[in-house]
Every structure is written in C-alpha cells, then in structure tokens.
Amino acid sequence: MSSLFCNECEALLQKQGRPAPGDVTRVEKDVSALAASQHVAISSNQAEGKASHREDDIAKRITAPSPGVQVPITPQPSIYSIEVNRVDQALNRLNDAARRIAAAEPDHQRKPKSSRLSPLRDISDEIQRHSTPLPSMPEQKLFNIDDEQSDDLGGTLPDLWPWLNDGDSGEVNAESWSNRTDPLNHRSFPNSIAAARIEEEDIRRVAAEKEGVATFKLPAVRKRASRLRIIFASLTVLAVLALTIDSVLVSIAFLNKRPTTHKIVTSNFVGSPTLTLSLTEVTYGQSVVLHFQHFSSSSSVYVTRDMDVPVTLKAPAATLGSYIKVDASGNAEASMYVENTWNPGFHTIEAEDHNTRYTAQTSLHIMNAGPTRPPHLVVDTQIIDLAQAPIGANSVRPLSMHNDGSGSITWSASSNSSWLLVAPSQGTFSDSQTISVAGQRANLKPNKDYNGTITITSSVGTSATVQVQMMVLPLPPGGISVLQVTPALLSFTATDGGSNPASQPLTVSNPGTQPLHWSLSNPSPTVDGRGAFVLASGISSNWLNADQKKGTVAPHATTTIQVSAQSNSLLPGSYTSTLLFTADKKAINNPQSVNVSLTVQPRCSLMINTNALSFTGVYGQANPNTQSLTLATSASCSGTSSWSATTSVPWLTVTPASSQLQGVTTSTATVAVNTANLAAGTYPGTITLTMSPTQNTQSILVQLIVQTPPPPGAPVMSISPLNTNFNVMQGQTGIAPQSMTITNTGQSDLAWKVISVTGGNPLIGPAWISILPRVGTIAPGGTQVLTIKVRTIIPPPGIGTLPAGQYNVSAQIGGTDASGAVVAGGSPQMTTVTMNVQVPCTLNAPTSSALTFNAVQGGSDPAPQTESFGATGNCAWPMGWAISSSQASWLTASPASGSFTADGQSASIKVTPAIGTLTPGTYTTQVALSYTDGNGTQLAGSPQTIPVTLVVAGFTISGTVNACPDTSCTTPTPLANATVTMKDGSGANLTATADANGNYTFTNVALGAGTISASGSDATKSYTGTASLTVAGDQTGVSVNAF
C-alpha cells in the first residue's frame, strides 16, 4: 500500500510540478459513485482549498482529505462513522488519498505505468548501505488505536519519502534506526510463493488502472462466530422442522374425517408370525385370501383347518395342497376356497412354520348354512371279520371314525381280549380319522372261533362298540418253518417339535420244526391326510426304522428287533405305515405285516372362546360396552405358560395386556374400544395374543362401527354384556339363568326388539335357549333386563339329552323411537350366547382289558406291552393315578404313578414279565389302577383292573412205543393206543396216548432229567416199558420199548 502511494505521488510530481497558491484543481470525472463500497470518493464539483502556505509539501496538499460536499438527494455516510477498528480507519484513509490522486489528474494526461509487470532485474547488488540514505523515523507510532476517530490522518503518518521534501536529502541520523531492524540489510529476493502472490496483486491493480480508478479493497476481517450462537441457530431450525411435521400429521388426522370403510389391517407391528384373513364371515363357494406375515425367511408353511384337516390353497407362488412357501421376508398370500364339505359355524385356520414350529391361528365363520350341529361320533362299521388263518398269522383291518357335527372329538379305544389290538388307542379329530384293528393268532388254540369287542369312548358323551370275530387253524404237519411276528400293531406318540419317542420291540418267532430265514422290506409309503405335505416338503416317508432287516430263527426260538419312529420332522397329525416281513417260500404265514401308527400331538397352545369381536358405537356418544375374552391352554400344556396381547390400532385396548396360565386354569381379558376422534365409519383391527415359550399366536379380528349421530332427541341404545357363556354338564337341569341389560342414553323413548336369533326360530332361537322378553320400551335414561335361559334336555318331540359339545347362537337386537320412524343410535347390536355341554368325569378304559404273555422255559423274557388310559369330561383337574396293588414277582409295571392335567390327555405304563426260573405252565396276576381328582376324591370306576397271563412253554418230546416179544426187541411192532406218561425235570407228570402207529408227543416239558413210561396191550399180550432222557430242548424219535 505504501509503495503504491509513493508511485502515484511521483507520477504527479513529474507531470504537474507544484501548483501555485490559490490554484484550483478540478476533476472532470465524477467519482462520487466510488464511495458506494469501502472506498471514499469526492464530488466532481468540489474544489480543493488553498494551501496554508506556499511551502507546503505538495504530496500533503494533494493527498490531504478534502471536505465533503452535500449530496442533494441522500448524503452518503462517512466511512469513518462505521469503522470500529482504528487500524481499519487508517487504511481506509490511505485508500481515499490514492483515489483522490487518481481523480485529480487532469485529462488523464498520464496514467500509472504497469512497469512492475515487466521482467524483474535483480539490482540487489547495486543497492548498498553506504549509498542508500536511511528514511527518517518519527518518534510517534504509525497508528495510535487510542486516538479519536476525528484525528487528522496526515499528522500521524511517518515521512517515508524524505527526498521529496524541499530540503536536500542528506544523511539521516543513524541513531534513529538504533535498536531497529534495517530493512535494507534484511532484504531478500521473493521465493516462488511470494512472487505468485505479488503477481496476483499486480494483475488486479492493472485491471483497476484500465478503468481509470485505482481500486484497492481492504481484506475482509473474519470474525469467529460464537459457538453458542451456532448451537442456538441449529436448535431453532430443528424445532421449526418438528413443528412443521406435527402440523402435517394433525392435518391428516383431523381434516380427513369422513364416513368410510377402512382397509383391513393385515400387519402386526410386534413381529411375531401372524395369519389374517381378508374375510371373516363367508358362505360356501367363496374364496378367502390368507395373509402370512413374519414367518421365518423362505420357510415352508402348512395350513390346516380345525384339527389337522388339510385345505386347498391357490397362490401366485408354486404350492401343493396345503403347503406354501413364504418369501425372504417371511410373507406370502394365498387364496383358500370354502368348500361345501365344511360344517356350518366357526372354523379354526392354523398355519405352522415347518422350520421354527411356530403356529399362528385365526378363525372363519360360515354363515347362512343352517344351524350348527354339535360333534357326534360315528364309526363306519359295527362288525369286523378277520377271517381264518393258521396259528401265528396276523390279520389287520382299518376302522374309520367320523364327526357327524362340528367341533372336535377326543376319543380312546380299548378291547376286551388280549389277542385283539387297536392302534392308535387315543387321539383327537374334527373331521375323520382311521385306526387299525388287528387279531394276532400267536399261541392260540387251533380249530376255535374267537370273538372280541372294541369300545370307543369320546369326549362328546357318545360311545361306539365294534364286534370282531376270528378263527384259528392248526399248523400243517411235517417239517415246516412258521413266520410269527408279534405284536401285530405298534403305536408311537410324540409331541410336535419334541424328541423322538422311545423305540419298541417286535418279536419274530418260529413255532415250526425247520429254521426260518426272514427279511424286512422297506416300509410302505405313508398313508394319512398329510401325505401331500410329506411329498412336497421333501420329507422321506421312511420315518420308520428297524435295527435289523434280516435274520434266521431256529425252530421254537425267537428273536427281537427294535423299531423306532423319527417324529421330529413331522407336523401334528396321525401317520401310519406298514412293516412287511417275508420268509422262505415254503414257510407258513409268509408274508406277515405289522401296522405302525405315529400320533404327533400339537404342542402347547392358547385357546380362546372367540376369534372375532364386533362393537357398535355412535359418533360423539360414550364408548361401546367392553367385551371379555376367556383364555385357556390346550391339553398338551404342562406347567406355567405366559401370554401377552398387542393391538394393531390405537383405539383398541386389552386389559390386562399380559398374564399367566397354569394347568387348566383360565384367564379373562377385557377388550375395550375408544371412539373419541373417530369419524363415522367402519374400522377393522386385530388383537394378537402371543403365548410363550411355546411360540403360538392367536389373531382376533375386531370390527368397530361408528355410526353417524342420530337426529336430535333420538334414542340411543347400548347392551351389556355382548357375550354370555354357560358351562354345564350333560343332562344337567336347573341351570341358573343369566341376564343382559339394554340401556337408553338418548332423549326419547326407545322401542327395542329381538330381531333374530340364528340357528332356529327367528324370535325364540334354537330349542335349547330362550331370551325373554323379546320386545319392550325404555324411557330416556332407563334400562331393561333380559333373561337368558338354557337347557340340556329337550323334551319330546325334541331330541332329548343334548350331546356334549359347544352350542352357539347370535341374537340381533334393534331399536327405534316410539314412532318407529327414526332408528336409534347404536342399533342394531349383535350379542353372542355360548353353551359348553360337558360330559361327567369319566375314566377311559385301558387300551387292552387283558394282557397275555408267552415264553419258553429257559428262553428270553417276552417283549413288554404298553397299556394306555385316561379320563375325559368335567373332572377336577389335575387327576392323579397310581398302581394300587402289587403284582406277582415275575411281573413289573412302570411308572408306578402319574397325573393328567386336562381333558384329552392320557398316560401309559409298560408291563414286563420275567420268566426267570419259572417252569412251564400258565401264570396269572393283575394290575390295578386307582384314580383321585384334584380334590383328593377317588373317582367312580376306580380302581381299574387289568388281568395278566403268562404262559411258559416247555419243550416238545415225541417218539414211538414199541411192543417187543423179548428184552432184545429184535422185531418190534408199534403198540397202538398205549398210555404214555412222563415225569419231567420239574416233577410234573405228563400223560399222552399213542396213536394207531404208536406215536406220542409231550409238550411243555420242563428242562432236566425225565422218565417216560408206557403200557398197553394187543390181542395176545400186555406190555410195559420205560425210558430215561435229559431234556435240553425239543427231542424227536424217543422210543419206549415195552415187553
């Protein structure tokens, strides 16, 4: 800046010289506009004043600040009035002086040259201290920031150009530079960075010179922004943004209120697997869209209705039957067709994730299909003929059971004969189920007809009996092998997602006289309602395995193989398969089959009294009355289970939101809706009940109807409660009635009536229920109580005692004003009445009414047998059972005690004999089971006794009685009809009669030394004789010579 100022002054001196006193220097160019920025300009009409004396320094006179001229329109503010920093003030004054010199040049006779842009010549060597005078340094500072703003700038500037003064430029006292840095001695040639900076400044100065004005802007002084100011500004912006978003949301919530039917909510924010339906009330022939959400990624989901009944799905993705694949997000949609084979009423729809075994459930109601029928057990036949076959042969026949109503049936089956088997022996179904009935002829006497009875009891109070007949033929004579496999049926029980059941034994025997070579082929394909799923999911049908596939059995010997079932890959349901045994071509009873059943019981799940709720309210009026949910656990639950409830919409609440269930205890939750801030319309919502730790969800669909406000003065109707439940015993009389209250909260009389009761007469409903009165009038603010009565016995011409099961009706009640012209607010409303008819607590008969075991002395113990038993009906759960009497020393039963926690559960004991040192013969004992309910009371029919028979067979000894003329017996002849006796190793005396050829046979001969005696006569002589032997097994050809 100082260098520039010096060049300007020097140019003026060389061109103009010194003006005379009083001369006026004018500027033709108006530079007043230059004062618009940080620069100071003078008016074109302003004249410089006279010099104070002729000897004034022309530089001082030219560059001295001139008085400002008043601008006619708006005066420009002085730059000095806005400068705060005194250093900035001084620099601005220097800029003003430079501009005034440029403006005072007359006619622009000479402009400053741009000589600095020419290449530089280093003259540093020519400049020496001795030839360069020191500039004078005044005592005062260059700038004093303490001076007032009005101080004269000229009085504070140092004389940096002494050679321009009037006096000679002589030597300057060197003392003025003492203790100071001599710039001449410390000069240096600029480096590349400094040169580039100087070059940029020169280019800017040349551009300004071309315009006729030397412009030098002061560098802008950056001031550090306050940190608090930045934080405050940021918070302000965020607050404004939040208020804007809130305003938009409020506008959406309150400005879009209009009567509408809102879209069904199909999502659940909790994230648990859920199953929802596009429609909850349908008729036959309709299709319903199923929405699957939050299942495991790309998993297989199997869909059933009620109790494991497959459904047919149609989906965009590839599906097969009831099987569907969800996408990577665990979501899918499928269409389900409602067939006319479904019973009227409510149906449970269940989806199970095959990977996680998580189940999601909801319900569907079939309307306009007639009254709902209670469950009723029906069997397809009452007589089964197993025909005739040789000893050791098995005969198996199927037996189908059906439900001639709605709901589900829990059943158990038992037989009254040890040779008559049924498997599985218990279960639950809602549509149908097929079981196996078998007769095994092992160790039975030939040439005899056998008759037995199978009894099937159920939870619906009805029972069925099936008569079974069978005939046993003798084995053919001669050297043969016989294939005999026991038992003819095997039954396994497992829980969904649980461990595999324990293996069970099969015994392969050979009652023939030749060795038996047997083999076991691969199990036949699975036959059950889930066959499509097994194939589609890639699960092998070989869920059944045996530890031996072939072997050899000696005559009268046995071998045992272990059969196991792999249930962990199967979903709940009943599965059956067949093991096929084959033997030598000439073997008797070749081939033989054994039917195997596997029942996979559902895991512990939540049970609720309804899967759909409906509320009706009036805009601007009080909220509709609350409704209740009853929660319980399924029969497979044990211990304590926790549940929690979530809702999909804010206007829907469940209280309490979580609780616990233990055993057969129930829990009640209250469902409420809040119509505040809701416009008139229909609002759907979903309640999701989640049970842990068994991973089960129940979806309850809720519909809220908000009606438009009624006309002023119209009645308003409300009803409480909206659902009523009765739990009664089959055949019970004198059932206490329940009440329902109608309230008029409007301003005029309410005329109400029962519009319809589904399932029967439009006014009185089915014969088992009555709602009285059926019409009435309620004053404003008044109430009226309706009485609900139910009964379990319908007198003639009715059906008599109602079967056990669940009965449901829906009553629609409407109201108007007294004239009938104005519909009351809140009308119509739907109420539900449910009656659960339970059978009295009943003990199920054991699977077999008697047990029989067969063994051979000295051989292996017979295979154990399993007895299953249980209880159904309205029992005081939990129920305990125990083996109440001791058995014989050769028999054990385990476990010795246990309990049931709910209806439909069963228990099993394993009965095992040990022959030890038992001698051949027949042994009998019994197993007694006693039962006590949760109150410690012994149940009717307790104890139950199960007879047990053990037959220990000895060995067979056969031979011939010979009549000899002398002791040498050189010419023996058969002694026909001889009497033969034998004393075996146990001391038992056995008797037999020889045939016409003198042949005899002893069976069940004990081990050890024995003696055979024979006596008889022919036409001429009487004979007697004896023979000794040691019995270690079967023996033939033992001759007794009689003399």
What integer best gives the mean pLDDT of the chain?
79
Cβ-Cβ contacts under 8 Å for 39 (sequence gap 6 or more): 95, 96, 99, 215, 217
Q: What is the mean pLDDT of residues 1001-1015?
A: 91
Bigger pLDDT: 121 vs 766: 766
Q: pLDDT digits over 2-16, tens only? A: 444 455 444 444 444
Identify which has the larger pLDDT, 122 or 386.
386
Residue 587 has pLDDT above 50, yes or no: yes
Q: Give the model's pLDDT for residue 90.
A: 74
More confident residue, 187 or 720: 720
Q: Answer whether the bond into residue 693 is a cis peptide, omega within 30°.
A: yes
Task: Please give the average per-residue pLDDT across 477-501, as a whole number.
Answer: 89
pLDDT of amino acid 128: 61
pLDDT at 757: 85
Rounded Cα gap, residues 566 and 841, in angstroms: 35
Phi, psi of 193 (to 5 degrees): -70, -45
Which pLDDT score, from 0 to 100, does residue 106 have?
54
What CA–CA distance (Å, rounded) separates 690 from 657?
A: 11
The pLDDT, as a whole number, for residue 775 is 96
pLDDT computed for residue 149 by the predictor: 43
Res 862 pLDDT > 50: yes
- pLDDT band with cut points at 50, 70 and 90 for residue 481: very high
User: How far apart, in whole angstroms, are the C-alpha atoms of residue 556 and residue 859?
Assistant: 10
What are the strands of the beta sheet with 879-883, ordered from one edge?
Answer: 851-856, 944-953, 921-932, 879-883, 897-900
Contacts of 604 (CB under 8 A, 6+ apart): 633, 634, 636, 637, 638, 641, 691, 694, 696
111-166 per-position pLDDT tens digit: 454 444 455 555 555 566 566 665 555 444 444 444 444 444 444 455 544 544 44
Cis amide leading into 895 (omega within 30): yes
Query: Of 629, 636, 634, nearest to 608 (Cα)?
Result: 629
| Helix residue ranges per DSSP H, 490-636 | 531-536
- Other CB atoms within a 10 A radius of the CB of residue 857 amount to 22
- Regarding predicted confidence, which is higher, 15 or 941? 941
Structure tokens at 301: 């989901």
Q: What is the mean pLDDT of residues 476-485?
A: 87
The percentage of residues in the chain with a pLDDT greater than 70, rounded to a whole number, is 74
CA dihedral sign, ordered 535, 539, 543, 549: positive
Highest-scoring range by mean pLDDT, 122-126, 345-349, 743-747: 743-747
pLDDT of amino acid 259:
43
Mean pLDDT of 434-462: 91
Q: What is the predicted pLDDT for the residue at 320? A: 66
Residue 295 has pLDDT above 90, yes or no: yes
> For residue 121, what pLDDT is reported?
56
Residue 944's pLDDT band, with cuts at 50, 70 and 90, is very high
pLDDT for 996 equals 92
Residue 610 confidence class, pLDDT cut points 50, 70, 90: confident
- Bridge partners for 1040 per DSSP: 961
CB contact at 8 A, 309 and 406: no
Residue in 395, 279, 158, 108 with CA at minimum distance from that of residue 684: 279
Pairing of strands 640-647, 842-844: unpaired
CA distances from 528 to 432, 599, 602, 635, 935 (A): 11, 11, 16, 23, 41
The alpha carbons of the chain give a radius of gyration, in whole angstroms, of: 56
Position 345: which residue type?
Answer: G
Q: Answer yes or no: are the C-beta atoms of 926 and 885 closer than 8 Å.
A: yes
Q: Which of 135-149, 545-559, 681-695, 977-991 has the lowest mean pLDDT?
A: 135-149
d(CA 530, CA 468): 29
Strand stretches in 588-639, DSSP E = 592-601, 606-608, 612-618, 627-633
188 band by pLDDT with thresholds 50, 70 and 90? low
The predicted structure's pLDDT at residue 854: 85
Is a pLDDT exceeding 50 seen at residue 857? yes
Nearest to 89 by CA among 147, 31, 7: 147
Give the global pTM: 0.64
